[in-house]
Structure 1
Amino acid sequence: MKSALPSTAYILQIHKNPAQVNTFISQLTATDTADVYVHIDKKNYDEVSPKINRSPRINVLEESCNVKWGDISQVDATIMLLRKVLTSKVDYDFVCLRSGQDLLVKNGLKVHLMENPNKIFMSAKFIHDRDISAAHVNMKWFDSARRQYNTFHPLRVFRSIMLKLYKKGLVLFPNRQLMPNNYLLYHGSSWFCIPIEVARFIIDFIDQNKWYYQYFKNALCPDEWFFQTLVMNSKYADQVANDNLTYLKWGEEYNNSNHPINLSFKDIDSIEKSNKYFARKFDEREDVAMINYYSEKVCM
């Protein structure tokens, strides 16, 4: 390590609530060993961008993509952020991907990274090709099927049917892109914290192996497979801690079962018992007191 504490590039994907994002950025930059790179969803760029704080340590990307739930655009935004970090020429130790609805909820992250300088904090679970969830990448999903439907919708029913047919061995829309036979699939949460060496590897690999991006281009929720599969099929697999340092709470109702739900004060006990450094999702429009609580309590 170059200093007592590791230097970290935090890369954020955001789309709303600029005041809340600024609170999170203030947490991340409370020490002088962190910079922040921000990608703003193209749909909301003109509205949100002027409201994000600027400083030499806060870099808002001028370019952006239209991020949609369930498709490759989430991967595109992450790749854009990684490229921005790598072209900055700053010698960071870690790159940490977060959303604009995260907050730090526990002090000591910098020390934890210092004590684990080679660890890849990323959730990654091996998925067999015949597992029902492998249909997310082994099938070609058309655009309207790669959308978040929180109520009853024919395309949500269609997805469910396609998954069940895949489980039975009937693949109506196979992914025609080729993956090497020795590649195994891994699935996990989108968010990660990785050594800068691994970030360089990811960008170098996808630049030199165009087939890899194409394989995931029409997948369903490829952000939960793309980086996990790449890292776990590399020489870095043994460094994966299978922990992305994040607490989240999944919905249990039909209208919210496919995404994390917003946290509130009643979740504080569960958050703090989890021993995680980050939590999501927070929303200032629903519980600003929760955001104020952690902004005052936690600053790295």
Structure 2
Amino acid sequence: MRIAYLITAYRDFDHLSRLIEKILTPETEIFVHIDAKIEYNLSIALKDNDRVHILEDRFLVTWGGFNLTLAFMALMSECRASGTYDQVFLISGADFPLVSNDEISAFVAANKDLIFLEYFEIPYAKWTGSNGGIDRYELEWPVDDIGKDTAEEYAWQQKEAGIRRAFPAGLKPYGGSCWWTMPSAVLEYLCDYFTDNFDWIYPYFRTVLLADEILIPTVIMNSPYKRKVINNNLRYIDWVTGPASPKILTMDDLPLLKASGCLFARKFIPAIDSEVIDQLEQSIMLT
């Protein structure tokens, strides 16, 4: 099975190196975007590996801004240019696998025509504080231009004044997790869609709050590929400490991680708990 991993990272580069080393096989290609504001260092073995591709074009990522979506687009474009894959996984540098590479390959072989994407219609009751997600796109949030706090104030001023905008015509809005798994054919469809429609996607979505959680679910669920979507992103993510960010996983979470049935989990920060990563790695080696 040919598998591609697209990774976005901005910290903990020892962990990133460990993650890449764990998922790198003769059948995988790995594409990495590193936040432009970060100086980084990966192991020499990874830098010299012709199956690990560090993107030269880097975006400065701010929480809530559109630049993360642009980073995703760049990763997808680079992946597409490299060939075709049975499945493409988008993960973060704070992920770690819960199963072995052989188990991932077996899963891909059994599901290579399916899309694994968490999705839901907007408004969504669990997106509290943003009118079920509607305020994310009906108000303008120029986070990349003026920062999160000032953008939030600007959005509040629009709301108070009753200034709103419509969602792009012909599309039903969907939200979901920004982490997904899809075949090359779907990735190619998205790349073409973004290229063909960039003249309106960029002006509109660059001021959508957390567009990474809306744009791709919306495009896929308004496409012929929606019939191939399984509403499961195959990631263990605990939003109990959210809604802005997921829980940092520790040894306390190990039983749930092992029983989750997921392929990956996040969010791991070694400085907070490295033992849970060690234990997961040992478990993978025993399978």
TM-score, normalising length from structure 2?
A: 0.87
Taking the TM superposition and a 5 Å limit, the aligned residue runs for 1:7-86 are 7-29=2-24, 31-44=25-38, 46-48=39-41, 53-54=46-47, 55-86=49-80
The Cα shift of 1:285 comes to 0.9
User: Are 1:11 and 1:81, in contact at CA under 8 Å, matched by a contact in 2?
Assistant: yes
Taking the TM superposition and a 5 Å limit, the aligned residue runs for 1:214-225 are 214-225=203-214
Residue of structure 1 aligned with 2:191, choices 203, 216, 219: 203
User: Are 1:250 and 1:260, in contact at CA under 8 Å, matched by a contact in 2?
Assistant: yes
Instruction: Indicate whether 1:193 and 2:184 are aligned.
Output: no
Q: Distance in 2 between matches of 1:226 and 1:190?
A: 9
Higher relative contact order (CA 8 A, sep 6+): 1
> Secondary structure, in 3 states, of the residue corresponding to 2:60?
coil
Residue of structure 2 aligned with 1:288, choices 244, 258, 274: 274
| 2:209 alignment partner AA | L
Q: Distance in 1 between matches of 2:154 and 2:179?
A: 24
Q: Distance in 2 between matches of 1:58 and 1:26?
A: 10
Aligned counterpart, 1:3? none
Q: Distance in 2 between matches of 1:128 and 1:283?
A: 32
The Cα shift of 1:160 comes to 9.8
Distance 1:298 1:146, change over 3 A: farther
| 1:284 alignment partner AA | P
| 1:298 alignment partner AA | I
Distance 1:145 1:239, change over 3 A: farther
| 1:214 alignment partner AA | P
Q: Distance in 1 between matches of 2:282 and 2:239?
A: 26
Unmatched tracts of structure 1, length 5 or more: 1-5
- Cα-Cα RMSD: 2.7
Aligned counterpart, 2:127? none
Question: Paired residues, what number?
Answer: 276
User: Are 2:65 and 2:142, in contact at CA under 8 Å, matched by a contact in 1?
Assistant: no
> Secondary structure, in 3 states, of the residue corresponding to 2:140?
coil
Taking the TM superposition and a 5 Å limit, the aligned residue runs for 1:263-274 are 263-274=249-260
The Cα shift of 1:136 comes to 0.7
User: Are 1:7 and 1:92, in contact at CA under 8 Å, matched by a contact in 2?
Assistant: yes
Instruction: Indicate whether 1:297 and 2:283 are aligned.
Output: yes
| 1:109 alignment partner AA | I
Q: Distance in 2 between matches of 1:243 and 1:162?
A: 36
The Cα shift of 1:248 comes to 0.9
Distance 1:220 1:14, change over 3 A: same
User: Are 2:142 and 2:151, in contact at CA under 8 Å, matched by a contact in 1?
Assistant: no
Aligned counterpart, 2:246? 260
| TM-superposition CA deviations, 1:151-204 (whole Å, max 9, x none) | xxx986x599689x6xxxx7734236x612x31011001101111001111110
User: Are 2:142 and 2:206, in contact at CA under 8 Å, matched by a contact in 1?
Assistant: no
User: Are 2:5 and 2:91, in contact at CA under 8 Å, matched by a contact in 1?
Assistant: yes
The Cα shift of 1:146 comes to 6.1
> Secondary structure, in 3 states, of the residue corresponding to 1:43?
coil
TM-score, normalising length from structure 1?
A: 0.83
The Cα shift of 1:53 comes to 2.1
The Cα shift of 1:23 comes to 1.2
| TM-superposition CA deviations, 1:80-116 (whole Å, max 9, x none) | 101111112x232221110000000123222111111
The Cα shift of 1:297 comes to 2.4
Instruction: Indicate whether 1:226 and 2:215 are aligned.
Output: yes
Aligned counterpart, 1:142? 142
